[in-house]
Structure 1
Amino acid sequence: MIRVLVVDDHDVVRSGLTVLLSAELGIEAAGQAADGSAALAEAERLRPDVALLDIDLPGLDGITVAAGLAERLPSCRTVMLTALDRSGHLRRALAAGAVGYLLKSTPPAGVADAVRRVAAGGRAIDARMREEERSGSSPLTDKEAEPLRLAAEGAHSREIAADLFLSVGTVRNRLSSAVGKLHARTLVDAVRIATHHGWL
């Protein structure tokens, strides 16, 4: 049985989530809290498997609570369930130790699925937020971005190598690394992805 602590300052949301999760096979809504301090106290008392946290809480916000849980109760897996859909919030939550980030528009079955996934050791990031995360910060190093930028301008490997005082093999390795990090099919696809996100 996966034991879940539900944390939200809105009674109707908290109660609804409790009913929803309790109706799911293998999941128990073990407790509730309406603010950050109460969430930490309840987590230490109940020792849940998963904490479902809103970010915008009175007192301690959800990201602070996530960090506190990661330190005090590392066995508890934290999922943020919030209306805040900016990549900055996602990055802060993940840095604080959260392993899930869902928007409140997530269907009920999606919330239950995320609880099961993180309880089993996985991550659960809303697909819309994964796109925000990719667009928020570049996965490329400067050494990968520079030859890709020159390729975007139409330069071939030999020209890039001459411009950057590198061997052709090194240029090809760096371009290949950039293609891989961007999950692109080809160099042209990598240029398109990086340009679209403003990484070049």
Structure 2
Amino acid sequence: MIRIVVAEDMHMIRTAMAALIETEEGMEVVGEADRGDVVLDLVRRTRPDLVLLDLDMPGADGLTVLAQLTAETPRPRVVILTAVGRPAAVRTALTAGVDGFILKSAPAAELLDGLRAVASGRRVLAPDLAAAAVVNGDSPLTAREADVLALVGKGAAVPDIAAALHLSEGTVRNYLTGVVDKLDARSRTDAVRIAESNGWI
């Protein structure tokens, strides 16, 4: 019997996944969590074989919870479930030792097959996620460029960014011009979109 904890903050999705898993022979849901910061205690109480973990949850995100779970003994296998596979998050999770990464848009059969595969010791990664993680690579932005662009993404104007980062307004504009060119973006807004979609800011 594969004992599974389902950690997903959206009630409808969590209960639907748990119900789906419960219909499968050889699988049992031993716990459910709607917040990342309660997963570790739940795992310690229920001792599952596998944790199906949402990447974006309140309390603690999936990558934080993954780091906690990989330090546990015995260590449960972990499959991260996500609606949007950000390449940087995929690479971080793989480096941290995740056992599987499945998109929420995957068919039910793919999810169940993935859980069985991970429980048997194999690593499962949706092909689209693997390709994106390789193609997009590491961030081309410097730490300062990422700081500046992140503030643009929050709606900050050049004077505000300059004050927050202790830079001159001219320096901020130079950073932004460089970032737009580096990301081959059409505008600052487009640069923010590109960087956010790749997990660079």
Please give the alpha-carbon distance, in whole angstroms, between the structure 1 residues aligned to 2:122 and 2:74.
Answer: 15
Gaps of 5+ in 2: 139-201
In the other structure, the counterpart of 2:11 is 11
| Residue 84 of structure 1, CA deviation | 2.1
| Residue 74 of structure 1, CA deviation | 4.6
Please give the alpha-carbon distance, in whole angstroms, between the structure 2 residues aligned to 1:38 and 1:9.
Answer: 11
After superposition, give the CA deviation of every residue in 1:6-51 in whole Å (9 maximum; x if it has no partner).
0001110110000000111111111100111211111111110110
After superposition, give the CA deviation of every residue in 1:44-65 in whole Å (9 maximum; x if it has no partner).
1111011000011101111110
Please state if 1:90 is matched with 2:90.
Answer: yes
CA contact (8 A) 1:44 1:73 kept: no
CA contact (8 A) 1:21 1:112 kept: yes
Please state if 1:110 is matched with 2:110.
Answer: yes
Please state if 1:40 is matched with 2:40.
Answer: yes
Moved more, 35-44 or 91-100: 91-100
In the other structure, the counterpart of 1:68 is 68
CA contact (8 A) 1:5 1:30 kept: yes
After superposition, give the CA deviation of every residue in 1:90-118 in whole Å (9 maximum; x if it has no partner).
01111222111011001111111111111
Moved over 2 A (4+): none
3-state SS of paired residue (2:71)? helix
After superposition, give the CA deviation of every residue in 1:57-89 in whole Å (9 maximum; x if it has no partner).
101111110110000245300000111222111
After superposition, give the CA deviation of every residue in 1:95-153 in whole Å (9 maximum; x if it has no partner).
22211101100111111111111111101101111111221339xxxxxxxxxxxxxxx
CA contact (8 A) 1:47 1:73 kept: no
3-state SS of paired residue (1:133)? helix
Alpha-carbon RMSD across the aligned residues, in angstroms, is: 1.3
The one-letter amino acid paired with 2:17 is L
The one-letter amino acid paired with 1:45 is R
In the other structure, the counterpart of 1:51 is 51
Please give the alpha-carbon distance, in whole angstroms, between the structure 1 residues aligned to 2:65 and 2:84.
Answer: 16
Gaps of 5+ in 1: 139-200
The one-letter amino acid paired with 1:109 is A
Please give the alpha-carbon distance, in whole angstroms, between the structure 1 residues aligned to 2:81 and 2:108.
Answer: 12
Please give the alpha-carbon distance, in whole angstroms, between the structure 2 residues aligned to 1:90 and 1:52.
Answer: 15
Please give the alpha-carbon distance, in whole angstroms, between the structure 2 residues aligned to 1:59 and 1:75.
Answer: 21
Please state if 1:25 is matched with 2:19.
Answer: no
Counterparts of 1:151-190 in structure 2, within 5 Å, are none
3-state SS of paired residue (1:72)? coil
Please give the alpha-carbon distance, in whole angstroms, between the structure 1 residues aligned to 2:72 and 2:85.
Answer: 27
> When the two structures are superposed, what TM-score results if normalisation uses the length of structure 2?
0.66
Please give the alpha-carbon distance, in whole angstroms, between the structure 2 residues aligned to 1:83 and 1:32.
Answer: 19
Please say which structure displays the higher CA radius of gyration. 1
Q: Percent identity?
A: 39
